[in-house]
Chains A and B, each alone.
Chain A
Amino acid sequence: MNYIMKELMLGNKAFARGLYEAGTSVASSYPGTPSTEVTEELAKYDEVYCEWAPNEKVALEVAFGASLAGKRSFCAMKHVGLNVAADPLYTISYTGVNAGLIICVADDPGMHSSQNEQDSRHHAIASKVPMLEPSDSSEALEYAKLAYQISEEYDTPVIMKMCTRVAHSQSIVETSERVVPDVKPYEKNIAKYVMMPGFAKKRHPFVEERTKKLIEYADTAPINRIEWGDKKLGIICSSTCYQYAKEVYGDSASILKLGMTNPLPVKKIKDFANEVDKLIVLEELDPIIEDHCKALGIELTGKDVLPMIDEFSQSLIAEKLGLEAKETCTPIDNLPNRPPVMCAGCPHRGMFYTLTKNKVTVLGDIGCYTLGAVAPLNAIEMTACMGASVSSIHGFNKALGKDSEGRTVAVIGDSTFMHSGMTGLANIAYNQSNSTVIILDNSITGMTGHQQNPTTGYNIKGDPAGKIDLEALCRAMGYNRVTVVDPYDLEQCDKVVKEELAADEPSVIISRRPCALLKYVKHNPPLKVNPDKCKSCKACMKIGCPALSFKDGKAFVDSTQCVGCDVCSQLCRFDAFEKGGVN
């Protein structure tokens, strides 16, 4: 008899619980909002080996290796991470698995914390890999177990698609005990696992046949369920759209809830459509279920009235489908907005101030430091994807030569550099552009909430691990000019940036200071402003520190936020900043 317990659990934590209960042995992931907590929570179970890999491609290949060896494995990433892991994904679809393999991909409709709004279902369709989509924490837990069964029965990796509102919502789950399946002995089988043309040609028909069987499964699977209500209106939906549909319509509509969104059922959808007078497809982002239905000759309402942009909500659905809006308190006009900002004491601030001051064109990358693009620092001019800063500056300088060399830099964080910056840096060393790359080394993966990476010297559990020496790595690639600076020291930053831009060869600046939010970082006492000395020149306001404001015409330090980094006081020509603010 299993001990069953009810608790309120985050979607990602529930997913991790399901993986644990299903006997997952190996997990390898790269952090990315909103997927990060699945692996963080899984790492809390000592029975499961977990790690942060340098990037998603490596993570998926690690998980594949463990599956090949015969143990249930897992890897997680955000939607854009699946682009990085697409290379192994599309071929692991052909080889299939030995023990079960689950790939979690977390989409971010509404771009709460992402650079694009891509719909991961396209990858499932294109790689011909089945995809499950839970709609709450309880399903996240249960589908993890089901996904392993499908993976092993159909000889395929299975993608589990989360989205922000499922990943980061808590709802009630029932937990049970861990059951570890027997190890599936690894057997040499080159026709299955060596994807050279001769063998791959024989695996492709297997994949097509597998999809046919999976469609049959989709037509009968209990996770593709019909909830009959009034048959005047039928709604096909999945994931969080199911919750919005129930919220808006309750039992006044019939609902076909799809727990599996690739491949989509055929007969079940046709039968459902035949039973209802009017059909609506509710899906965020792209019209994938809609196009499938239309290809079956089914008439419906979908993206003709519902947007392809942003996440949905109950009021958006009600509004677009012509239901009455709820009364609200009157909005208050002209409120200043509050965008995210770099934290007080953020070590990136000093470097960005230096770059802006020197009127340098800055090609940026993915991380907290992307926030350096906005006022008042206005430093970064391009951000696209992981590693793009380092590769793009080479192209920029090759295109413009002397017109951009010496006045352009790439900035990239330590974790992003390990993810995809190294190959770009190798290209600069190999094809020789006179480029300056600045590694913003805050000794952690910051934006996703402090995950370790290969440069920090610690593993996912916080235990000592291998540590890659960035200086040695750059020198080994052939860089003669590798300089470490402290971004809290504005004078040093300015001197080194000027020197490296002037140099007639490629160079790397490592701007090194740990993230101010790290628990081990000791803060200095907050500063205070001597109002008699402050001349109201606002020089200190150029760094955009959230702890600094102007009150009664003088600079003012919010002592609850200030960590005493001293960067503001280096900008003050009147020595108005003094130690000893009150916290």
Chain B
Amino acid sequence: MTTNVMIVGVGGQGSLLASKLLGHVALSKGLDVKVSEVHGMSQRGGSVVTYVRFGDKVYSPIIDKGEADYVISFELLEAARQMPFLKPGGQVVVNSQQIDPMPVITGAMTYPEGLIDKMKASGANVDAFDALSIAREAGSIKAANIVLMARFSKYFKDITEEEWLASLEACVPAKFLELNKKAFELGRNA
């Protein structure tokens, strides 16, 4: 069995660290892991998607239509966009923040309303919460990525909090470790 996790958001929100953490945890459990990222132009404020796959043996580095078990999203609209990739009944863990994309900024379109209900109607389980406020409480809004991963970590009963924190220690530069640990603990217990 392969577990497929998509980590999505807007370029610059810190999805690379989130995927690094999840990849590290899976590797430490002795699983085969593949992580696929997007670099370059799409990072400039566009939609970004990172795929993390782990299991006994993983071949493809990407997650395709109807294959995702989880969508972790830094932003509401970006979560809604991934419905075609989510398995029916799959889990969405989403930061309820809204960031206007350029078509909304220019007034060509409006930011859609009721996205959480729309995702539920589409067949997803949705866990939406305000990761930004928790990150601010931990000391920096930049730690929202770790808050989100902490919330997501609760869905894995066989990975302990200590194992997550050990991987966090391995993935985060020492000077930001305390902040990120605090963000993880607040996120996990929120």
Contact = CB atoms under 8 A, between A and B. Distances in A.
Interface of A: 6-8, 10, 33-34, 36-37, 112-113, 136, 165-166, 168-172, 240, 243-244, 246-247, 313-316, 325-332, 334-343, 368, 371, 374-376, 447-449, 538, 541, 544-546, 548-550, 558, 560
A170 B33 contact: yes
Contacts of A316: 64
Contact of B86 (A247, A328, A336, A376): A328
Given A113-B40, A243-B59, A549-B105, A172 B32 contact: yes
A333 to B, nearest CB: 9
29 contacts: A6-B27, A7-B27, A8-B24, A112-B38, A112-B41, A113-B41, A113-B42, A136-B34, A169-B34, A172-B27, A240-B60, A240-B61, A244-B59, A314-B64, A328-B86, A330-B121, A331-B122, A332-B119, A338-B10, A338-B102, A339-B101, A340-B46, A368-B41, A447-B44, A538-B107, A546-B99, A549-B104, A549-B105, A560-B141
Contact of B62 (A7, A165, A325, A326): A165
A332 B118 CA distance: 7
B61 A171 contact: yes
B11 A340 contact: yes
A394 to B, nearest CB: 27
A246 B59 contact: yes
A329 B124 contact: yes
Given A7-B27, A335-B77, A340-B11, A328 B105 contact: no
A-B interface, 4 closest residue pairs, ranked by CB to CB distance from nearest:
A113-B40, A326-B66, A33-B40, A340-B46
Nearest to A11: B61
A326 to B, nearest CB: 3
B66 A340 contact: no
A351 B165 CA distance: 46
Contacts of A550: 105, 107
A392 B130 CA distance: 50
A7 to B, nearest CB: 7
Interface string B88-105: 101000000001111111
Given A171-B58, A340-B43, 6 more contacts: A8-B23, A113-B40, A328-B65, A332-B80, A332-B81, A549-B105
Given A171-B34, A338-B77, A376-B106, A247 B45 contact: no
A343 B102 CA distance: 11
B83 A170 contact: no
Contacts of B159: none
B: interface residue count bin: 35 or more
B35 A340 contact: no
A332 B83 contact: yes
B107 to A, nearest CB: 7
B60 A331 contact: no
Interface in B119-135: 119, 121-124
Given A328-B84, A329-B88, A376-B106, A336 B101 contact: yes
B87 A165 contact: no
Nearest to A550: B107
Contacts, number: 199
A336 B111 contact: yes
A113 B45 contact: no
B35 A8 contact: yes
Contacts of A325: 65-66
Interface in B132-177: 141
A170 B65 CA distance: 21
A339 B46 contact: yes
A334 B39 CA distance: 27
A101 B141 CA distance: 46
A117 B155 CA distance: 40
A334 B81 CA distance: 10
A243 B123 CA distance: 29
A544 B43 CA distance: 17
Nearest to B109: A336
A327 B105 contact: no
B102 to A, nearest CB: 5
B105 A170 contact: no
A168 B35 CA distance: 8
B67 interface: yes
Contact of B45 (A10, A169, A332, A546): A546
Contacts of A112: 38, 40-42
Nearest to A316: B64
B61 A341 contact: no
Contacts of B104: 336, 549
Contact of B123 (A8, A169, A330, A546): A330
A7 B171 CA distance: 13
A342 B44 CA distance: 6
B178 to A, nearest CB: 20
Contacts of A330: 83, 121-123
Nearest to B141: A560
Nearest to A558: B99
